[in-house]
Structure formats: C-alpha cells, structure tokens
A and B are shown apart, each in its own frame.
Chain A
Amino acid sequence: MNVGREDILLWALLLCPTVGGGLCLLLRSPRQVLWMLYVSVLAFGGIAGYLGWRVFSKGTIFAADGWFTLDPLSAYHLTVMTIVFVLSTIFAGSYFRDSVQDGSLSTKRMRRFGALWLGSLAAMILVLISNHLGMMWVGIESTTLMTTFLICFHRSRESLEATWKYLLICSVGIAISFMGTLLAGASSGHIPGLKDPMLWSALRPIAASLDPLTMKASFIFLIVGFGTKAGLAPMHTWLPDAHSQAPAPVSAIFSGIMLNTALYCVMRYIPIVEGATGNAGWALGIVRLFGIVSMLIAAAFIIFQHDVKRLLAYHSVEHLGIIAVGVGLGGLGTFAAMFHTLNHSVCKSLGFFCAGRLGQMYETHDMHRMRGTLHVSPIWGIGLLLSLMALIGVAPFAVFMSELQIVKAALDVNAIVILVLFLASTGIVFVGALGHATSMAWGKAPEGVPQSKTKMIDIALVVAPLALLLLLGLWMPEWLRGILSQAADVISTTR
C-alpha cells in the first residue's frame, strides 16, 4: 500500500478525535477535559475544512486501498458535521461552566463525557468516510454504542428509561440494516470478476446489472433499519425520549448530525437501488412515503407538547421527514434536501443550546413554567424564539427557502398528494409551535428564577448561527450552490 497524502489526511481525520478521546481519560480536572475537547474538535475541524475544500475543488478522493473515500456527498455532510460539532463543543463549555466552577461535576464523569463525546465524533467520521458498506454499518453501530451513556449523563429514572429505549430500539434497527447490507452484497452474486462487491464505488457503476428483487428486499431492510436511527416515523419512538433526557449539547449533536448520518446511509443506497430497479422511482417512492409519514406524525405530536426539548425532538422527526421527502422527489428536491440538511442542523443545534441553558435556569423543561424567557435571559430567550421561528419556516430564514424549493420540486414532478400533505403538516407545525414559542418568550416569568449573566461567548453562540441562517435565506453564494449541486449529483438518478 503506497501511502499518499490523502491516506494521511483521512487517517488523521479519524485519529484526531480517537486519540483526543483516549487522552481525555487521563486528564486530571474537568477544565482540562474541556480544553482537550476544544483542541481535538478544532483540529478535526481544520482537517475537515481543508478536505472539504479539496473535494469540492478537485474531486473525489480515495484512500486506504479504496476503503475510505470522500466524495461531494460525504464531504458536504462532513462540513455540516464540523459546524455542528464546533458549535456544540463550545456550547458544552458554556453548559457545564457552572457545575465545573462549583465543583459539582466530578472529574471521572467529565472524563467519561469527553471520551464518549470524541468517540461518537470518530464513529460518525467513520460512517462518512467509509467506502465499504460493511464498514459504514460498523460506524453507525458504533455511534449508537458511543452515545448511549451520553444520554444518561444526568442519572435519573427518566434518563435510564430513555437510554434503554434508545439502546434497544436502535440496536435492533441497526441489526436489521445489517441484513439489508448483506442482501445488497448478495445482489451482485451472479456478476463474475467483482473483487469486492460491497465497495460503494464498485457497486455504483454496475447498479443496472444487479439483481432487482434482492436489491428491493435489501432496501426495505435498509430503510427500516437506518430509518430507525434517523428517527423516521413510525420507528422514531426512541427519539423524543432520548433527546429530552440527554444533556443539551448531546441533544444538539443527536439532532444536528447523528440523525443525518443515518439518513446519509440511506441516501448512499438510493442510486444503487434505483439503478438496479430500472430507474423507475421505486426507492424514491419509499423514501418519500417515510418522509411524509414522519412529517404528519411529528405535526400531530408537536401541537400537544409540554416539554420544550421534546418539542424540539419532534421537530427533528419533522425535518428529517422533510429531507427525506426532498430526496424522494429527486431533481431539484435532492438539491433542496441538501440545503435543508445544513439549515436544519444549524438551527436545531441553536434551539437545543437555548433550551438547555434556559432549562438550567428554570430547572424544568415544562413550557407552561418556562415563561418570560426574554426577561429572564435576553440572549438565550431571543435565541430560542428566533430558532423556533426559523424551524417552523418563517421567512426570511434559510429553512423557509429550502422548504420553498422542496415545494417547487413537488410542483415540478406533479406530486400533488405529497404537496398537499407537506403543506398541511408544515402548516399544523407552524400554528402549533408558534403558540409555544410566543408564550414562552413573553409570558410572565415565575418567581425565583435567577437573572443570569451574559458572556461574550454566549452571544457569539446565538448570533453566529442566526446570522448564518439569515444570510443564507437572503442570498445564496454561487460557490455554495455549486457545492450543493455537486453533493446532490452523487445520489440523483435520471428518471
């Protein structure tokens, strides 16, 4: 194996958080662990940024004998992941600041948090850079295992219950997706001379000659399996529990990127399945169906929600559904889905940051008691209000723009039923969540909630994502358009 520059870079990308996570276990104080997190994530962000630039300007790169690859689709997800992880890691510092200062957080727990945090980052990187479908599966399974104990970081009965549900439902889902992965490998059984039939880059060009029936069976296993991890309804039942019980920074990476990596796996298979089944739109139809069902179910639960973090969790179900609908529409829809991935991840991370900090101040996540947030903490209050408004698609935030593009894509292909259901569920969510958002912002604050000091870093954490969303909503730079269409081209199929 001759070691090239790409090999070194991709291995460095993977090893950066792995080594950082290992070192976390040796550190002496919670503060050191936090610094370790900053350093590792920034180093990862630097490498990821460079790799992203390289892929988008010079094309797909392969490494480790073809086992690793970074094409526009994975590079794009890697970029989103970088943004989410950098923001969330900085926020983790802010979230744990009080408990680190008053010493209520033991070094042991903080060490474990740091190791698992960076471990889940490494697992998600493995998912994104794997060219081998089996390795990609190993990555997804590792994310589940790494993140399990992050959910019950604050040990309570509720968090243990959420952990158990998450662990079992996701493990089973992922076991099912392994069946799908194997079936996908088996679908090339009749083609002679194929060296490794589970390399994505080997399957993609010969997709048309794969066995269609096996491939169809495989895709059903895959969408149910990976869909469980991506929080697509009706396999989403673990999601609200896990998101509401995990510490806010963890919820942010769950919603911001972990769900997307699972959906990314489904996206990987779409062109192969479509190719095998004669580009008839069979796989797209299934993805669309799961997307719409997720949106409708999420809408129904959002109206009657009392817990702000569960509210945000159901928003994740809704938005992953929107992305799935976009991908399932194909054409412009795929492009819009890519754009929406970025918008949702940034916006949802911000939402969890604000909800988490406000939850610490009010000592509850019950929206009936979290009133007057603008008064109690202007910066987090504004952040929560605006992020909720952006999430439900208020113009001119970027989420509105990407949803509009999906509507346009639906009109393009005359998918009227999808269009009606899409508009209906976003409408329900709009009305339902707007009520929650306004009453939390302007209501009368309960007695005894301390006014908190605002630090510069908090302001930056709220302003930066909002500014990004606003900017992208008003003006999309040409280079970003190029990146998005490159990413969409990887999985779009000619109808």
Chain B
Amino acid sequence: MVEIVTHLALLLLFPPLLLGIIVKTKALFAGRVGAPLLQPYSDLWKLLKKGAVYSRTTTWIFRAGPIIALASVLTAGVVLPLASTSSPFGFAGDVILFAYLLALGRFVTMAAALDTGSPFEGMGASREAAFSALVEPALFLVLGIICLPAASVSFSNAWAALPWQHWGVAHPCLLAASAALFIVLLTENSRIPVDDPNTHLELTMIHEVMVLDHSGPDFAFILYGASIKLFLFGSLLIHLLLPISAGISWQNAALFLGGQVGMAILVGIVESRRTMNLYSDFLLLFVVMLNLYIVSANRLTACVKASALQGAALALLPIIMWWNGSPTPLVHVILMAVGTLAFKAIVIPIMLARAIRNVDARREVEPFVSLHLSLLLAALLVGVSFWLAGALELSAGAPSRLLVPASFSTLLIGFLVLVSRKKAITQVIGYLMIENGVFVFSQSVAAKLPFVVELGVLLDLLVAIFVMNIVIHQINREFDHINVDKLDLLKG
C-alpha cells in the first residue's frame, strides 16, 4: 500500500517541479533571478480554471488528443519503477507496453495537430514524425541493453539484474546507453539543442507548433504530460546511473529525487550553453564533476588519475582566462600554466602513484562515511557553494560566474574527502583538492598576484606533497599500513 501511494504521489506531484528547476537554472546562468521554482504548478492551476476554445473545423480527435496523450504517459509512468527497482503495477512485458504507450501519446498529439487542418500544425506534425522515427530505434536499443542481463522484458527483473556493480565491468556499454538515453530525453522532450520550447519563431518550432491551437485545460494536460514525460526519461537515466536498490527506503528516495533534480539542472546547463562563457565555464564544471568523481571512487589509483586530470584542467584555466581578456601578462600566464601542468598534472600524481605502489594500498576500505552518502553530501556542498558565492557577492568582479562557486565546492569537497577517509593517501588527495580550490579562486585575483608569490605557492605545494609522501612511507614502514584511523597512540 505504502509502495503504491509513494509511487503515485511521486508520479503525479513531482514532474512540474522539473520544469521549474530547468527554468531557474537557465535564469541563474543568464544572471537573472528567474521565476519561482513552483511557477509551473501555478501555471497549470491557472490553465485548468480557464475555458477552452475549439475551432469549428476540428473534430472529436482534436479534443481527445491531449486527454489520450496525458493518459498514455501516466499509464507508462505507472508501470515504470520509480524510487525502487520495481513498480507496484509492473508485470512481465511492461517494457514493451512502456515503449508503445509513449508512441501512442506521440501519435495522438500528431493526429490532433493534423485535425486542425492548419498547414502550420501539419508541418509541425511532420517534423515530429521525422524526429521520432530517428529517436525510437535509439530508445529501443537502450531498452534492449537494459533488458539484456535479465533476458526479460519486465522492468523489475531488468533493474534487479543490472546492479550498479555492472559499471565496473560493462562501463563502455552502459556509458554509451546513458549518453544515448540523455540525447533521447532531450529530443523526446523537445529540449535544446533539438528543439526550443520557448522560441517565438514558428519556423524553428517542432513540438510547440503542434499544440498552438490547444487552450485552457487541454493545454494544461499537454504541459503536465510533457513534464511527466521528462520525469519518465529521467527515471530511466537515474536507474542506469545511480545505485537504486530494491524496496522503498529513504536512501532510494533521496537518490531518486536528487537524480531527478540533477537531471533537470543538467538539462538547464545544456540549454544555457549559449549564455555561458563557453570554455571557462565548461572547464570549471569539469573540475566540479571531477570532485564528485573523486568522492565516489574507492580505487586509489582512480582518485589519483582524476586529481591529475583536475590539475590539467586547472593548467588550462589561466590560458582561457587570458583568452577571455584577463589583464594578466601572457608570459606570466604561460609560465603559470606550464608550472601547474608540470606539478599538479604530472609530478605530484606520479609521486602519489609511486606511493600507492610502495605501500601497496589499492582501495579505500570502509571509509568513515559510505561512498554513496558522501556523494550525496558532495552534491549538497556544491549547492552550498553556489549559495555562498551568491551571498558573498564575490562573483560580480570575477571573470566567470562559475569561478567562485567552483572554487568553494572544490574546497569543501576536498575537506569532505579529508575528514571522511582513512587512507593517508586519500587524505593527501583531499589536501590537494583544497589547494586546487584555492587555485581556482586565485584566478579571480591572478592579475594582482605577483608571479614570485604564485611560484612560491606552487613550490610550497610540491614540497608539501613530497614531505607527506615521505611521512606516509615512514608510517607504512613503521606500522605496516597507512590507515590513519589506527594512528591512535596519542590521546588527551
């Protein structure tokens, strides 16, 4: 019973929020405050209270279109597992039903559009048909990949047979499926870059042009149906990417809702790319993504590799800042980039990799905070950093709006790694992340920082890591391990 109520509540209440999040993200990237997060709910309520206008040339098909479309996505949502590996209404073969229900919804929308007899809407319907013909095979292929391990066309069997551990062995396949699914999601939901739901130039519209003639409650059904569709594709993606286990638990719910919100933010970011300072912002986002990766990885070599990659990204940062018109002299920029690349992307990672080999430590075993939980915490910290950067009004003078939030989140996540892990080497990586965060921040005042000081800072970092390395080596020789939680001789 609880399961059914949760499932339906999630399906019916949550989706419009996603549209709100996307709009909010885009507004933030464009430097506006943006509409409130709950605006879509108010819009739906407003539309439902209005009456509808019907053209005399239309038939019952036009009226039935929105209702059947909404009914079909809702039914599809009922059989799709949401915050658990199984849906309370699932049955053998529900994967097929899911795919065909989506197709049915699309078909009735197109039929309703053609029913108006307007050439304009007919053009939209034809475009929609062309795109769905391209997307549908991709969707079926992804569904096929999902169903392959279980050899069953039922979602509950499929998800149960595809635990998160599969990422360890089948990651190219799963990675490709996820990427394909994300593109399908953008296409099916008429998002940028395939379509632009907010455009006012009819010639460039695909989906919007089909629904121009709908008004009042009919249009509310269409909007609501669109948000549910986004929600359904998001759920598929989340089940692929995040470790959602069987049964209803707060962890599952948190992962699921967090995943949906993250997906909406991602869509918002993709749509904002034109307003973004392309290279520097993508680079900074990459740095933040690497933070999240380091938090969630438990193989020490993977952490070191990610940190080396982060160092390389940081080395590019001064160059891109210079390209974007920062007043720092070019010689200074190049020396800084070369120094950062040499130290943070090559020398330090090599030292750490050698340390890992020498002390024979491969994995972070049983960290103080589980990897899943620390991933959630890290995502939370990213949010906190955006809030903090906004509250401090530091971003105003910075060369990129993302600079300060990215710096704070790297700093805070570094702290998280530092306090939640037991291996000395992981702690060093945490320290390195804190330093990286400070480095990112230093780019906002780089023009004012004399080169000697920056060089001093880099050298200090190198020596610090070197010294830590030696101490780790000695600890390993003396104790035969490098688990810092067992360094507890000194008390009081």
What residues of chain A have their CB less than 8 Å away from a CB belonging to chain B?
Answer: 132, 134-135, 137-138, 141-142, 144-145, 148-149, 152, 155-158, 160-165, 167-168, 171-172, 175-176, 178-179, 182-183, 185-186, 189-190, 196-198, 213-214, 217, 240-241, 244-245, 301, 304-306, 310
Contact = CB atoms under 8 A, between A and B. Distances in A.
Contacts of B418: 168, 172
A162 B470 CA distance: 14
Nearest to B411: A179
B84 interface: no
Interface in B284-303: none
A172 B434 contact: yes
B424 interface: yes
Given A145-B463, A145-B467, A182-B441, A164 B424 contact: yes
Contacts of B448: 185, 196-198
Given A134-B450, A145-B464, 14 more contacts: A138-B460, A141-B457, A145-B467, A149-B470, A152-B474, A155-B474, A162-B490, A167-B464, A168-B428, A172-B434, A176-B434, A190-B397, A198-B448, A213-B392
B456 interface: yes
A302 to B, nearest CB: 11
Contacts of B194: none
A171 B464 contact: yes
A160 B481 CA distance: 13
B484 interface: yes
Q: Taking chain A's interface residues, is the majority helix, strand, or loop, or is none over half, making it mixed?
A: helix
Nearest to B468: A167
B397 A168 contact: no
Contacts of B175: none
A240 B490 CA distance: 9
Nearest to B392: A217
A176 B411 CA distance: 9
A202 to B, nearest CB: 11
A135 B492 contact: no
Contact of B397 (A162, A189, A244, A245): A189
A142 B460 contact: yes
B478 A160 contact: yes
Contacts of A135: 452-453, 456
B431 A168 contact: yes
Interface in B349-376: none
23 contacts: A132-B453, A134-B450, A141-B464, A152-B471, A160-B479, A161-B475, A161-B490, A165-B490, A167-B467, A167-B468, A172-B415, A178-B438, A179-B411, A182-B438, A182-B442, A185-B449, A189-B445, A196-B448, A213-B393, A214-B392, A214-B394, A305-B492, A306-B492
Contacts of A185: 445, 448-449
A163 B424 CA distance: 12
Closest 3 CB pairs of A and B: A134-B453, A138-B456, A161-B487
A141 B462 CA distance: 12
A161 B474 CA distance: 10
B471 A167 contact: yes
Contacts of A176: 434
B489 interface: yes
B492 A186 contact: no
Nearest to B432: A175
B427 interface: yes
B136 interface: no
A186 B490 contact: no
B475 A171 contact: no
Q: Kindly state the interface size class of chain B when it binds its partner.
A: 35 or more
A417 to B, nearest CB: 29
Contacts of B392: 213-214, 217
A171 B474 CA distance: 19
A182 B392 CA distance: 14
Interface string B406-421: 0000010001001000
A213 B391 CA distance: 10
Give the most central of B428, B431, B492: most A CB within 10 Å.
Answer: B492
A189 B327 CA distance: 13
Nearest to B465: A171
A493 B238 CA distance: 57
Give the most central of B393, B431, B453, B474: most A CB within 10 Å.
Answer: B453
B304 to A, nearest CB: 17
B444 interface: yes
Contacts of A156: 478
Contact of B471 (A141, A148, A157, A305): A148
A214 B489 CA distance: 41
Contacts of A161: 475, 487-490
Contacts of A168: 418, 427-428, 431, 468
B173 to A, nearest CB: 40
B475 A160 contact: yes
A54 B488 CA distance: 50
Contacts of A198: 448-450, 453
B492 A157 contact: no
A156 B479 CA distance: 10
Contacts of B463: 145
B460 to A, nearest CB: 4
Nearest to A136: B453
Nearest to B397: A189
B441 A179 contact: yes
A160 B474 contact: yes
A208 to B, nearest CB: 20
A186 B475 contact: no
A331 B407 CA distance: 38
Contacts of B411: 179
B467 A148 contact: yes
Contacts of B452: 135
A172 B464 CA distance: 11
B453 A164 contact: no
Contacts of A152: 471, 474
Nearest to B436: A175
B94 interface: no
A185 B394 CA distance: 12
A175 B490 contact: no
Contacts of B471: 148, 152, 160, 163-164, 167
Nearest to B484: A164
Contacts of A164: 424, 471-472, 475, 484, 487
Contacts of B415: 172
Contacts of B435: 175
A158 B490 contact: yes
Contacts of B492: 240, 301, 304-306, 310
A172 B436 CA distance: 12
